[in-house]
Chain A
């Protein structure tokens, strides 16, 4: 009964997108080519944008596509091009103790999955996925420029300092 109840379009979409995201994420951390890893990361980031749409967060999804898929990926590809002469598969992208990462990740995942399933169980996030309304951008801007104005100012200074710092660090002389 609960299976037919859950088999709505949103859940099918969620399953397909999250499968793509997990495959992409695993490829990002296992593939032997930095450029390929960056391109797999595009799939993960676009999938995240799609998940934000499922969570009715339109503005965040658009920002995700603009900032991550647009700007951050270009930065990554620039960084890759500027730090190595040849672009191709390499054998030594992992460090010596890389095998230790697997038990750490699996243990963390086990603990987190146990806590999440124990804490939330089969609680419904959205009762009727069909009639969710996207959050208006006006509400978000009222939130940013109302109660969270101080963090917004701080964020502006962080971005300013980051720009200046990046220029100073990457300058030739």
Chain B
């Protein structure tokens, strides 16, 4: 197995996730795209863990998974709060801070 194949898979998933964050209006969909990005990072971490013969990459991947779980919990709580106050979760409508 080549190093490049895992890194390229991570890069493809990362870019699809970036497109999702930029293009989606629904806040839940944006959170899903962020999950794609975090997963691509995890694939890279584990590939480098194998490459260097070290277990640190596995540890970091576990930390990333835990942080992602916390992020989804808080993110969805915020989405629910926004929905309760405004009856919409379209990110285009949240433009008070535009100045």
- Most A CB within 10 A of own CB, among B7, B23, B46, B51: B23
Size of the chain B interface, CB-CB below 8 angstroms: 69
For window 1-33 of B, CB contacts with A under 8 Å fall at 1-9, 11-20, 22-29, 31-33
Min CB distance A72 to B, Å, is: 5
Query: Which residues of the partner chain A approach B81 to less than 8 Å between Cβ atoms?
Result: 169-170
- Sorting the interface of chain A by its residue count into under 10, 10 to 19, 20 to 34 or 35 or more gives 35 or more
Instruction: Tell me the bound Cα distance from A120 to B13 in angstroms.
Output: 19
Is B72 in contact with A96, judged by CB distance below 8 angstroms?
no
Is A18 in contact with B76, judged by CB distance below 8 angstroms?
no
Q: Which of A34, A60, A165 makes the CB contact (< 8 A) with B65?
A: A60
Is A83 in contact with B28, judged by CB distance below 8 angstroms?
yes
Name the residue on B nearest A61 (C-beta): B46
- Given the contacts A21-B9, A41-B35, A78-B76, A109 and B15 also touching, CB distance less than 8 Å: yes
Instruction: Name A residues whose Cβ lies closer than 8 Å to a Cβ of B.
Output: 6, 10-11, 14, 18, 21-22, 25-26, 28-29, 34, 37-38, 41, 44-45, 48, 51-52, 54-57, 59-60, 63-64, 67-68, 71-72, 75-76, 78-80, 82-84, 92-96, 98, 100-102, 104-106, 108-109, 112-113, 116-117, 120-126, 129, 132, 135, 139-140, 143-144, 148, 151-152, 155, 158-159, 162-163, 165-167, 169-170
Question: A-B pairs with the 5 shortest C-beta distances?
Answer: A101-B22, A29-B20, A98-B23, A162-B70, A105-B19
